[in-house]
Structure 1
C-alpha cells in the first residue's frame, strides 16, 4: 500500500494501481481472470474473488459497492455471467451496473469488471 496525501494506492506499479481509496471511496481498476482457459462462470468467479480481496484491502466489502462496469467478450455469455453475478451480490445492496460487449486485449479473456465502493 502506498499513501500520497489523502490517496491510498493498492498494488501500484509504474502503469497502474489495482485499487485506490480517496475521500471515502474505493476504486478498482478493471480486474481480469488469472486462468483464461475457464468458461465464463469460472472466469467471472475468479474476477469477483479478486474484487473481494481488493475491497477488503481497501477497508470495505461488496455490500458497499456503488457502481460496477462489466465488459464481456460476447453477449452470448450474458446469462451465464448474470447467474454468477446474482449469486455474488448482496441481496438488497445491488450496485448501479452497466454491462457491454468489448474487444478484449487478450482474446481468451471473457470478462473484465471494475467497481467503485464506499468505505
Structure 2
C-alpha cells in the first residue's frame, strides 16, 4: 500500500497531499489581496511554484488547474495574460469559473494537481 503524505497541514487542511506520484494542492490565494488581478495572479502562481518545489515537482508537471475568480468579465483577460506567460507549453487542463469569496478583496483562487 502506498503512503499518503500531507504537507503544510493545519486543523482545517493540508496545503499539499501526495499519493502515488500525484500532488493535490488546496486553494491558493494571494498573500496581498490589495493588488489588482494581475498582481494577485502573479502571487498565486509564485506560491504554486513554491509548493510544487516543496514536494519535488514544478510547473511543467501541472496536470490540471481550477481557477476561481471573483469577477470573470472584468478580470479574465488580465488573468489569462499572466497565466499564459507563466505556463509551460503545452498548458495543463484547466477550468475557470466565477465564485463569491468570503473575503471581498480576494480576486482569484487556484487549485492544482501535479505529477511529482
Identify the TM-score tier after normalising by the shorter chain: over 0.9
2:60 is the counterpart of 1:77: no
2:61 is the counterpart of 1:64: yes
Structure 1 residue 58: Cα displacement: 1.1
The answer to whether the 8 A contact 1:44-1:111 is kept is: yes
Residue aligned with 1:83, SS = helix
Taking the aligned partners of 2:69 and 2:6, their CA distance within structure 1 comes to: 27
5+ unaligned residues in a row in structure 2: which ranges? none
Cα root mean square deviation, aligned: 0.9
Query: Which of residues 7, 13, 29 is equivalent to 2:4?
Result: 7
2:86 is the counterpart of 1:88: yes
Counterpart in 1 of 2:28?
Answer: 31
5+ unaligned residues in a row in structure 1: which ranges? none
Taking the aligned partners of 2:54 and 2:31, their CA distance within structure 1 comes to: 19
Taking the aligned partners of 1:33 and 1:73, their CA distance within structure 2 comes to: 13
Deviations, residues 58-108 of structure 1 (Å, cap 9, x unaligned): 11111011110000000110000000000000122x110000100012110
Counterpart in 2 of 1:40?
Answer: 37
Structure 1 residue 42: Cα displacement: 0.3
Taking the aligned partners of 1:45 and 1:10, their CA distance within structure 2 comes to: 23
Deviating above 6 A after TM superposition, structure 1's stretches of 4 or more consecutive aligned residues are: none
In the superposition, the TM-score normalised over structure 2's length comes to: 0.95
In the superposition, the TM-score normalised over structure 1's length comes to: 0.93
